[in-house]
Amino acid sequence: MNVNIVDLGKMEYGKALEIQEKTVPRVLAREIDNTLFMVEHPPVITLGRRAKREHILLSDEELAKEGVELFDISRGGDVTYHGPGQLVAYPILRLDEFGKDLHLYVTMLEETIINLLKKVYDLEPATETGKYTGVYMDSRKITAIGIAVRKWVSYHGIAFNVKTNLKHFDWIIPCGLADRTVTSLEREIGRAVDFETVKSQFIQFFAERFEIMPVFKTLEEIL
């Protein structure tokens, strides 16, 4: 099974959200193959369906001063930060081809990151099965997951802190979990990494876990 891989580079959140919205019906109608978008966003805070405004610790005026946009979106979960150095992946998949099971789908996303961290960086990440989604290094969250599904087609996705400015997470209570901290790949391994290399590694482990063949496409070829 093929999956289109589209690298959006650095892109504002609103534009990437619009691209997802245009892609979901095309994947649903089988006009195009399942598609994975890779992107890096400027600073933005998104509020999922269960988000509480008090989990954003800055006022609207302070956020505007920092140049941070706010988006209320349809994914599950609470408050999430996206910013430079964070690898964001938006899989637009027909989930009936991957078990038609939301818990399984989230687990497969988690295992993509877990396998990458274990096999490439010799780390020991974990999940909190049955409690919170995402991937952790002890109590330090390294990857957030928030998905939405429309007629069994997935969108939104996964945010992996590669070389993210972790001070920006002080602006929020990430995912509403006050008893958790946030970490990044660079912090855990104690050295700098190349963002594009990690992106390629993610695509490799995503393809292996989902048993798919990546086919690299441009955005123009998709839309």
Q: Is 175 a catalytic residue?
A: yes
Q: Tell me which of 27, 44, 117, 175 is the catalytic residue.
A: 175
Look at the block and give the residue holding tokens 């996303």. Answer: 109
What would the DSSP string read from start to end of 105-121?
HHHHHHHHHHHHHHHHH
Q: 118 burial class (0-12, 13-18, 19+ CB within 10 angstroms)?
A: middle
Strands 69-72 and 44-47: parallel
Phi, psi angles (nearest 5°) of residue 207: -60, -40
Look at the block and give the residue holding tokens 């637009």. Answer: 92
Q: Any idea what the Cα angle at residue 160 is, between residues 67 and 52, rounded to 5°? A: 55
What is the Cα–Cα distance from 104 to 98, expressed in whole angstroms?
8
Q: 196 burial class (0-12, 13-18, 19+ CB within 10 angstroms)?
A: exposed
What is the Cα–Cα distance from 77 to 32, expressed in whole angstroms?
28
Catalytic residue numbers read 175
